[in-house]
Amino acid sequence: MVDPLVSGTPEPARPSRRDFLMGATTLAVGATSALVYKKVAESGWSADVVVAKAANYDLDLTRIVRDGLTELNFGPAQVKGKSVLLKPNLVEPSKSAPQINTNPVLVRSVAEVFRSWGAREVFVAEGQGHCRDTGFVLEQSGLGPILGREKLEFVDLNHDDIVSKPNRLGFTNLSWLHLPASLVRADLVVSLPKMKTHHWAGVTLAMKNLFGVMPGVAYGWPKNVLHHAGIPGSILDINAAVQPDLAIVDGIIGMEGDGPIMGTSRNSGVLVMGTNLTAVDATASRLMEIDPYRVQYLALASGRLGPIAEPHIRQRGEPIAELAQRFALLDHPSLHYLRE
């Protein structure tokens, strides 16, 4: 297992996700007393992250998303002719709690942007972690009707065909990772999480959202195998395997307290966008007034999957200081270190 706290350097260029997954098909903390994780070298790492104001879901989110991605130099040249997989966060069937799931209006708006930029196809995919009735989750979340109106295909990743590959990063003891075949189909994978606190991980954002690509038929409900293997290590192993291309965090209405399900709503009025998910999550954490160096999975990702140090993240759009809000955390001793 990799020592999570020794200095790291950026990995050399590696094959694309599709090449890596297709090849796999043929094969079948220590911490300080205050639990502030050791800062590792981020030499060579840099990333742009856009923070955009979005006060509510009635605004022209298509324009806001398009402008934000353009600020990242992510546009038609990166999208035209590509297959795009949008991965929202669908945790629980709920019509009355807008803080739980990625808002379907945002999903529709992101799809509109990619379609307008000439994507060959845009489809939505998720493997929800709790309720096994996918149709019920789609209907209750409000996403199902929008998918129907917009003629957007939905893929249930819990029951997708499986591609198995060796665990390249090895932060857990899982020798193999079983991934949905839809990742091979997609040229671009976009994480669309909610901005939420988490009763175990501290925060759940773009990187943790990729738990939902892991098929329930292989990992159980709610992905019990990954929880037993260790949440921080699983987050890193999954992200290294999936190699997501983009994240857009739904912080218009987020969740604080006992997340990712039982917390209360927090109107943050922001979208956070970037092509490096580690930098995106570090920025979103700062918007929640949580030090990313106190979030174990981010401290472990630092210098390996991306930067979390502010000097290595080029801030675009709105300044963090003007929009940051102190998200409440579950009052439990296991989380006190996040703010000590």
User: Which structural domain, as residue segments, surrounds residue 190?
Assistant: 43-338
Banded pLDDT at 32 (limits 50, 70, 90): very low
- What is the pLDDT at residue 9? 34
Domain annotation covers residue 18: no
Lowest mean pLDDT of 9-23, 204-218, 240-254, 286-300, name the range: 9-23
> What is the mean predicted confidence (pLDDT) over 290-318?
97
Task: Give how many domains the chain has, as a whole number.
Answer: 1
The average confidence (pLDDT) of the chain is 89
Give buried/exposed letters for 121-151 (b at 16+ CB in 10 A, else e).
Answer: bbbbbbbbbeeeebeebbebbbbbebbeeee
Instruction: Classify residue 37: in a domain, yes or no.
Output: no
Length of the chain as a residue count: 340
pLDDT at 21: 54
Report if residue 12 sits inside a domain: no
pTM above 0.75, yes or no: yes
Which CATH number fits the domain that encloses residue 260? 3.40.50
**Residue 126 maps to a domain:** yes
Question: Would you say residue 201 lies in a domain?
Answer: yes
- Distance, in Å, from the CA atom of 319 to the CA atom of 90, rounded to the nearest integer, reads 29
**In this predicted model, what pLDDT tens digit does every residue of 54-82 receive, in sequence order?**
999 999 999 999 999 999 999 999 999 99
DSSP state string for 179-211? EETHHHH-SEEEEE-EEEEETTTEEE-TTGGGG
Q: Which residue has better confidence, 3 or 134? A: 134
> CA torsion sign, 124 to 214 to 276 to 166?
negative
Residues 128-179: pLDDT tens digits?
A: 887 778 888 899 889 999 999 999 999 999 999 999 999 999 999 999 999 9
Which residues, listed in sequence order, are joined to residue 123 by a DSSP beta bridge?
85, 153
In this predicted structure, the answer to whether residue 283 has a pLDDT above a threshold of 90 is yes
Q: Is residue 76 part of a domain?
A: yes
Does 216 map to a domain?
yes
| pLDDT at position 65 | 98
Considering the domain boundaries, does residue 27 fall inside one?
no
